[in-house]
Amino acid sequence: MNNPPPFAGLRVLELASVLAGPQVGQFFAELGAEVLKVESPAGDVTRTWKTTAETQVSVAADALVSAYFSASNWGKKSLVLDLATPVGQAALHRLAVSADIVLASYKPGDAEKLRADYVTLSLANPRLVYGHLTGYGPDNTRAGYDAVLQAEAGFMYLNAAGPGQPPQKMPVAMVDLLAAHQLKEGLLTALFQRERTGRGALVQVSLLDSALSALANQASTYLVTGHDPQPLGSGHPSIVPYGTVYQAADGRQLVLAVGSDGQFRQLCGALHQPDWASDNRFATNAARVAHRAELEVLLTQRIAAVAGDALLAELERRAVPAGAVRSVGEALRQASAQAMLLPAVAGAGAGLRTVAFRSPAWAAVHQLSAPPGLGSANDSGFSTQSATESETRAVLPCVPPVL
């Protein structure tokens, strides 16, 4: 396969920091785009977010980028510009003339103060697609933070061991990641529209809207019934057994995802309890939901008496969805996970892809440059001067949409 990656030749200016915006930047880099991360003199704050484990490693930890920064910044160059100064703003404007996409995560009003907003940058480049992330939308200047949004959007309430138990935050910045996916979808939509109209667009994504959109069946339960969904630990409100963690005799923890009555009959066979499948309390999913507590007690006791790995093998043979509870390291060491890993390079350990889809229509980007050091593009003599006439891509005239 010799086809270039789909975004080869696309130019992205990343003014965003932390996680959501940089995730989008790495997405484009993995698919062949040229991504220039524009940082303040202090740099992206996540460069300093190191865990205790990182600071205790025997190598020179200070020389390595943080794992958090590494999660979202492969394949980019870093350029330091002080956008609070006329010089920095002028340099950004020159770069924006030949850019396809700008990624920003300023609070509403801040981009305008820095002359880094869509209206300003698109004056010289009408084809510019500008993605703007905010916490609560373009009319609310409140800063958005993932943990706060998880609380305010209902996720922490639902993510408790049960009614009356303490709410818990999810262990990754889930709202940031949801917003990143929304922004990618919006930018791809705008790029598609640009092919039809010749004009770019402003794409606005908020953390709050992204979180609310992901409530899915939990939101519709409230909207349909008027009753608030209640926390069930890792259980499912309308499917049983689904998501509950069981511990087998050998200590193996596992989960079931039994989505049909046929799968439940196969589960009963694997557990040598065929009578459960014909018990009126459990014969149908509706009955199992109604008698959740009784069934969970029986499953907990029975699974605690058998070998976990042997049970998982038998469930796989019977096509019953089930899996072992794995640590992050165990998950990443699986053979099936290797295609998602980025090989280690000098200055960084291995990395994780943001792109989880593949196609035979283009070549995969197997080797990305390491997450960049702060200002590495400045150090390498990167120029912010306007491109030469031969290098500047023509700005296409606006044309009516093709209907």
pTM assigned to the model: 0.88
User: Active-site residue 250, yes or no?
Assistant: no
Catalytic residue among 82, 146, 176, 209: 176
Q: Pick the closest to residue 183 from 49, 57, 24, 403 (CA basis).
A: 24
Residue 402 DSSP label: P
Find the helix packing angle between 261-270 and 308-317, rounded to 10°.
140
- Chain segment 204-223, per-residue pLDDT in tens: 999 999 999 999 999 999 99
pLDDT of residue 1: 55
Amino acid at 200: G
pLDDT of residue 59: 53
345, 370 contact by CB (below 8 A): yes
- Residue 69's CB is within 10 A of a number of other CB atoms, namely 25
CA dihedral 273, 307, 326, 31 (to 10 degrees): -70
pLDDT of residue 394: 38
Look-up of token digits 């891509």: 393
Q: What are phi and psi of 3, to 5 degrees?
A: -65, 140
pLDDT of residue 365: 65
Query: Mapping DSSP to helix (H, G, I), strand (E, B) and coil, where does residue 357 land?
Result: coil
- In this prediction, the residues of the chain whose per-residue pLDDT falls under 70 are 1, 57-63, 347, 364-366, 384-403
Take residue 16 and report the two structure tokens written for it. Answer: 């965003």
pLDDT of residue 344: 83
